[in-house]
Structure 1
């Protein structure tokens, strides 16, 4: 009986935002247009913050997102975050109109200016950080909170 009460309490206390963004996704499933969250913009540039927003980027488990990473080529820079990449299902990485559908990635490195677009579905709730490898400053990382 105690377990049933705790289970019901957990269901009531669970945030309503942990479900996909739309009710009727049709044949497209989780990739449906109505299930897409806001796009995240990251900038790789020497001496510039990685993420221009305030606080963590909040993602909803089961929702579809895209991250655009743009490098201006001022330095050879990368973004790494194996824990984040293991907490999502990667749909594709698009670089110069070439679509790559990887099983997993650990990092993306830019040797010159350019951009990459990562589209994915957030899966595993938790807090994850993408950062420029070897950096320690808060401006050189972005935290994603998957609810």
Structure 2
């Protein structure tokens, strides 16, 4: 019994943010970083032959939950790769036509025809990353993403 009490006391003192009313629980709500006050919708990414992926680079904040739609117009089979970025985020779910997928990791996406997917994720690791259409030339079909 003493061992359990000492372990619990050590845990409380080792993590004072959990006991602090002005800490994470107060900022985010009961769901922590997945609460509605800590989420943001991003502008969509459009996969279309020879067209830019987005209007501007994305700047994300580490610890924030984001949702983004990735849409393909079916003009060509197109993929979106970015292993570095996908390893710097925690993917909550990917939704395709109402099917919710909760992966352990992603390396790339490919659209064989027109369609839309929604990706919900938490930005984790600060840095600069690139999403791109493989074998595209120049910067036209790349998207720069910074996690601060």
TM-score by length of 1: 0.81
Counterparts of 1:1-147 in structure 2 under 5 Å?
A: 23-53=26-56, 56-147=57-148
Question: How many residue pairs align between the two structures?
Answer: 125
Cα offsets for 1:100-140 (capped at 9, x unmatched): 00000000000000011111000000000000011132120
Cα offsets for 1:10-42 (capped at 9, x unmatched): xxxxxxxxxx8x952222111111101232310
Cα offsets for 1:63-119 (capped at 9, x unmatched): 001121000101000101000000000000000110000000000000000011111
Work out which of the two has the higher radius of gyration on C-alpha atoms and give 1 or 2: 2
List, as ranges, runs of 4+ consecutive aligned residues in structure 1 with deviation greater than 2 Å. none
Tell me the secondary structure at the aligned position of residue 120 of structure 1.
Answer: strand
Q: Is contact 2:66–2:123 with CA below 8 Å preserved after alignment?
A: yes
Q: Is contact 1:51–1:139 with CA below 8 Å preserved after alignment?
A: no
After superposition, the CA RMSD in angstroms is 1.5
Aligned to 1:3: none
> For structure 1, which runs of at least 5 residues remain unmatched after alignment?
1-19
